[in-house]
Amino acid sequence: MSLLRIGILGAGGIAERAMVEPSRGVEGVEVVAIGAREPSRAEAFAERLGLPIAGDYERVLSDPSIDLVYLALPPVVHAQWAVRAVEAGKHVLCEKPLSANGTTAQQIADAAAAAHRRAFVGFHYRLHASTVRLLEVLRSGVLGAVQSVEIDFSIPHFVVKPGNIRLDGDLAGGAVMDVGCYAVDLLRAAWGEPEVLSAVAELYDADPRIDLQTDAQLRLPGGIPASVRSSFIGDDTGAMVMRVTGSDASLEATSVIVPQWGATLRVTAGDEVLIDEKAAEGENSYARQLEHLRDVLADGSPSILDADRAVGTMRVVDAIYRAAGLQPR
């Protein structure tokens, strides 16, 4: 097995949680480099976590031993650095969402194709066994004719505080960008391309470009109505739930965004419980993502994380913002 060597741009917490920590349990993958705008931050990160290469962004991009660059950066700069990465001969994994909007997302996909490199989006949850099972059940017909879909991805109100980059319009923040993109991706995976009918946003007083909460109404193929809530102002427990009502049975899935936090899947028909499952302990969606990238880069097979597909998700996100009276990021 050839070794996939990874360099990171961005020394924030997500780089450690989503890349360095899970890589240590994945055969054939090694994180070897960290780059930051301030090289001193990268050096401190590398020393603490035992990475051999540290410096600025160019130090990572110019290293010929690095195969893939992970962008742990705000989405507003993804296009700039993803293009630089593929032009430097690297594959690239963008932390979700792929980019700030559909236009710049397309730029990433086009640049990767032109450079004969691969570009991916970090929808890690798609690789977890719980999500694979959820999609399997949704496609199985056990629900009968699907009548409605409801997704509520609400972060508890005390998590996203002033100063958080998710509340910065200059950095393409907002609730739909942060958690709504998962909902759009999941709808597209299960049913195909949705049509955005309407949306209402509650805005952040300190930066009215930012949606603290957006409720969107969509129509799925076959005319199925879907409602999506994306929120930074959820209750004390928050929500990562999908509910689907069918003619024969109803489904509820929890912890959809981060399945390793105890995802559950329950299907009921009246008082009868048809499916009642919980995610197995120990499986990590970020580790599954690394295994997946290692394998598709080795054999050249298509990926559900490919940038070409993720462009469509960003175009739906753009449409939700427009429907809410906001400019796409």
Query: For residues 47 and 50, what is the distance between their CA atoms, to the nearest angstrom?
Result: 5
Non-local CB neighbours of 85 within 8 Å, separated by 6+ positions = 9, 61, 69, 71, 91, 92, 117
Specify the amino acid at residue 269: A
CB atoms within 10 A of CB 138: 22
Is 96 one of the catalytic residues?
yes
- Which residue in 121, 3, 5, 2 sits closest to 63, CA to CA? 5
Non-local CB neighbours of 159 within 8 Å, separated by 6+ positions = 232, 238
Q: Report, in angstroms and rounded to the nearest whole number, the Rg of the chain calculated over CA atoms.
A: 20
> What SS3 state is found at 31?
strand
Cα of 264 vs its chain's centroid, Å:
20
- Which of 90, 96, 161, 278 is catalytic? The answer is 96
Query: For residues 23 and 171, what is the distance between their CA atoms, to the nearest angstrom?
Result: 28
Query: For residues 172 and 131, what is the distance between their CA atoms, to the nearest angstrom?
Result: 27
Catalytic residue positions, numbered:
96
